[in-house]
Every structure is written in structure tokens, then in C-alpha cells.
Structure 1
Amino acid sequence: MVSHVTTLEDGYFKALHGIRIKNYGLSVPFPYVSDTHCCLICLQQGNCQSANVHEREGLCELNKFGPQDSGAVTEVNQSWSVYYKSNVEDRELMLRATSGVGFSVRDTWLGTLSPPPPQDGCKSMASAVCTTHYRNPKIDLWETLSISEVMIELYKNGSRVMFMTFNGTGSNLESWMSSSRLLTSSWTTLSPTRNFIYFSVKGDQPCSRVFLILQNYGGCPKDAGWFVVLDPISSDCCPGEWSDLSKKPKFVYSALDNVARYQSTDVDFADVMAVFVKYT
């Protein structure tokens, strides 16, 4: 459960327990009187976005990132809690999917599957604090929201390893992910002018390959693309090959600045996939 800490200011902080932002950057740990005191000190610092609190040792660390910011490096540590300014987040988390938990990412996104309730850590990008998927109920109101941008991000060991930003204006639950809506990406070679076999949320459904960006099918060893979620939906199309893996879903991405063969060392696997939105 996310708790709230009321401050003496107009805003409030939300708390994620068992999480610490490692690259806190604004201060060395210093003693504090209470969690509210630590939050008040953060409010007095113009560039402080959150605070790590170690209640047993009475320590406070000021952070320049919030737990959902792309630059934040988080860790699982039950001795700490992170308190972050909820009124400064300029984007909203819509989906936080976890690798290897056995629940379909596609069906969770579309609302046709309800995975177990998320733990507190399912809004953090740390890898070992969530055993299900988090789905924001606002997803069901998608077409009534004033969404301007949609972002997919991948995290490994708490650090962001991939991002894509799409034009979300006038989109629905599936249409936002398309090559024509792509705005920016961590791959400089990924652009709407490239040729794709798949670039969509649904992807190659018979093969359980969703949120798929694929350039080439040439027999399993030659399958090549930028990104795919291997979903635990149905049987695999390449028995004994690159996509025939246990503990799905798997988040597979090109580690190159270009398309990569999925059956090669040019791909890597992320722990967490997140979808954020920005509003107009």
C-alpha cells in the first residue's frame, strides 16, 4: 500500500517502502527527526524530488530523481523507504510488467486478464520487488484522456536500458504503438522510414510475440528486430530456438544501435517493462 505524508506545505509525498534510490546525488546521509522532517527538508531544496529514509538509523538522503524518473537507479532494501513528490511527476505510470511471473503482458494491458494484486514495489523500476504486473485502471479510460505522448521503457537491475516515445494524441489502447507515431527512441536507427513486418501491441499473436518490432522473418535463426515481449500465451513457434524460453514473459531488446538477430548475443533481456503517458 502506498502511504501519504502530509507536510506543512500545500503538497504531499507518497511513500514506497522497501525501496531506495541509489543515485541520490543531492546530499550525503544525514540525521533527521522524523520522516516528515526529512520531507520538509526536501521541500526546501529546489531540485529535490524525493528523499530516502532509513527509519531505524534515522538517516535521510535527498534525491534529484523520483522513483519513476528515467534517470533513477533503484534498489530493493527493506531498511529504507523513498518519499517522493506526487505533484511533480510530469507523467503517469500505466503499466509496469515484470519478467518471468507467468502472466500475459498483452492480456493484462488490454484488460482481458486480471493478474494478482500488485505489491507496493510494483510502481518501482527495481527488479525484485514485484511478482505480478501493475495495471493502472485509467487504461480503461484511454480514449477519454488527453494523452499527448506514450513511452515504453525497459529496466535492468533498476537502470533504464531502452526507451521509445510515441505520439499518443487521438490514439486507442493499441494504435499508439506504430511506426508512424514514433517520436524518439534510444535506438538512433529506429525510424518510421524503416521497413517492418510487425510494429504493434498485438504483434505476432500465434507465436505469442507481442509489443513486437520486427524487421525480418527468415527462419528462426534469422529472425531480427528491435524489441519483443515473449508472452506466456500459447505454444512457441520456434521450438528449441531463441523464443522457446522458460519463465515468461521475457523482454528481449537489441543491445545494438540497430536491428539485431534475436538468436544471437546482440540481444539482452530486461527485468521490467513500463508504459508511461503524458497529458496535454
Structure 2
Amino acid sequence: MCIPYFIVRMAREYANLFCFILFFAIVQYSNSAQSVLRTKDLEEKRWRMVFLANSGNNQNVYDAWVKGTGTTSVKPATLQRTHGPHYRDDTFLSAWTRTDIVSVKFAFYDQYRELAHVIFGGKGTDAINWFEPEQVLSSSYSDLTRHGTYNLFSIAGEGRWDVDRRFYINRNYGGCDNDAGHFAVTDTNTKTGCAWDIHPVYPQFLYSKINSVTVWDRRLFGRADFMAIFVETKRRRY
């Protein structure tokens, strides 16, 4: 028995439509099933959030951290995307060197989960020099340790050649095709950097999506929604 061609064609079209609807429904269910991260959960037990930067809000992250430029003192309750100003705990940062800090956590997030992090020792540091390789205690990368090899590892990052890479952890240079690292905050569009410095909006929080250093130009990096800094202080016993 031969089935007319138009019936076969119609069946294929309906099958494709059904698959598309099913895929869309699964994606929607998956997104709705995820809960936006709450600040109080991220701070649970040991951490205090002192800084939260938003990607794509056109506000300089480096100036916000160092100078408090354009920041808000109102801590967000969740990591819901708003493109609002960066949050900065001015009171804590002004007292950093007078506070008994145990450790500092630097982390990238989307709305639903942590994407990558580094935990640094905080004893005897200030608001700038905690972000150094000698202070690394642990990280989400197997090769990001205090004994690793880095050509740049600092908050100030890279400003030469008219590029603007902050909170920069990079292993090596070798021309744009060979630059490799773990983290980079691209603060502004200088229009003269490498191709991987160019994005639709700024700032951008770039991180390696593999369990090690990545060659930036291969585009094996992710773009996080948020950059957060937490501190753990020594608890006093009374």
C-alpha cells in the first residue's frame, strides 16, 4: 500500500513542529524550575558580601571597587538581573586593614549558580593586595594555585596597549592568538585590543569554561552576569 506523498510530508512537518514545541516547553520548565540566587544564602555561615558588580551596566568595575565611583550602598537581596549600579560596602572597605580578615572569596555568577571562584587568604592584606597569587588558598580550577605560573595576576590588571582588563588572572601572552588565562574583567571598549576584548556591552566578566587555563581567542570562555567579593572575618569569642 502506497501512502500519498502529501500525507508523508504533512506528517514530517507536524513531527518537526511537535519537537520544537516540546523543546521549547522543556527549556521554559528548566528555567522556571531554577531559583534566582539569594544573597543571604551566599552569605550563609561564613561569608559577608562586600561587593557585587553587574555586567553590561556601562559602569567601570575597577573604579567602583577602588574609589566607590557610581556605586550603591544598598545590598541586593538576590542576583536577579537588573543592570543597576555596582554594590559596594563602603564601611567595610574603609576599615579593611583594621579588620581581622581570614579569607576573601572572588566569584563569578549567573542568576542561578556559581560559575567559578578563587579563595584567598586575607590576613594582613588591604583592599588591593589580597588579589595576588601568594594569597591563593583554593579555586574552582585545578591549575589556579599559589604555585601556578602567571604573567599577570592583579586587580589593576592590564592597561598597556590601550586595553582595559581588570581583576585579571592570566598565564601567558604570545600575541592575541595565544593569550591564555582564567579570569578577566573587560571594563571598557578600547577598540584596540584583541578580538576577545570586544563585546556588545561592558563590563564583561570572562572566565575559563574548562577546568584549567584557556586560550582566550579560542572562545572557550563564559560571560558571567555578576562578579562578587566576599570576606570572612575572625569570630570573636566572649
Q: Please give the TM-score of this superposition, normalised by the length of structure 2.
A: 0.76
Distance in 2 (alpha carbons) for counterparts of 1:189 and 1:165:
14
Q: Tell me the secondary structure at the aligned position of residue 176 of structure 1.
A: coil
Q: Tell me the secondary structure at the aligned position of residue 63 of structure 2.
A: helix
Distance in 2 (alpha carbons) for counterparts of 1:217 and 1:68:
39
Cα root mean square deviation, aligned: 2.5
Q: Tell me the secondary structure at the aligned position of residue 242 of structure 1.
A: helix
Conserved 8 A contact 1:68-1:125: no
68, 71, 84: which is aligned to 1:131?
A: 84
184, 203, 222: which is aligned to 1:268?
A: 222
Across the two proteins, how many residue pairs are aligned to each other? 200
Q: Which amino acid aligns with 1:278?
A: E
Q: Report the CA distance between 1:201 and its aligned residue.
A: 0.6
| Corresponding residue of 1:175 | 129
Q: Report the CA distance between 1:262 and its aligned residue.
A: 1.1
| Corresponding residue of 2:197 | 243
Q: Which amino acid aligns with 2:206?
A: V
In structure 2, stretches of 5+ residues that fail to align are 1-31
Conserved 8 A contact 1:123-1:134: no
Distance in 2 (alpha carbons) for counterparts of 1:141 and 1:251:
27
Distance in 1 (alpha carbons) for counterparts of 2:83 and 2:176:
32
Q: Tell me the secondary structure at the aligned position of residue 221 of structure 1.
A: coil
Conserved 8 A contact 1:119-1:130: no
Residue by residue over 1:148-176, the C-alpha shift from the partner in whole angstroms, topping out at 9 and shown as x without a partner, is 10001111232111111000001011100
Structure number having the greater strand percentage: 1
In structure 1, stretches of 5+ residues that fail to align are 1-19, 25-64, 71-85
Which residues in structure 2 correspond to 1:64-103 (within 5 Å)?
67-70=39-42, 89-103=45-59
The 3 A distance-change label for structure 1 pair 279 and 272 is same
| Corresponding residue of 2:60 | 104
Distance in 2 (alpha carbons) for counterparts of 1:277 and 1:268:
25
Structure number having the greater helix percentage: 2
The 3 A distance-change label for structure 1 pair 123 and 106 is farther
Q: Tell me the secondary structure at the aligned position of residue 53 of structure 2.
A: strand
117, 128, 145: which is aligned to 1:191?
A: 145
Which residues in structure 2 correspond to 1:131-150 (within 5 Å)?
131-137=84-90, 138-150=92-104
| Corresponding residue of 2:25 | none
The 3 A distance-change label for structure 1 pair 278 and 217 is same
Greater shift, 186-195 or 223-232, is seen at: 186-195
Distance in 1 (alpha carbons) for counterparts of 2:84 and 2:221:
24
| Corresponding residue of 2:209 | 255
Q: Report the CA distance between 1:68 and its aligned residue.
A: 3.9
Distance in 2 (alpha carbons) for counterparts of 1:219 and 1:167:
33
Q: Report the CA distance between 1:129 and its aligned residue.
A: 3.3
Percent identity between the aligned chains? 25
Conserved 8 A contact 2:64-2:70: yes
Q: Report the CA distance between 1:258 and its aligned residue.
A: 0.8
Q: Report the CA distance between 1:124 and its aligned residue.
A: 2.3
Q: Please give the TM-score of this superposition, normalised by the length of structure 1.
A: 0.65
Distance in 1 (alpha carbons) for counterparts of 2:136 and 2:192:
28
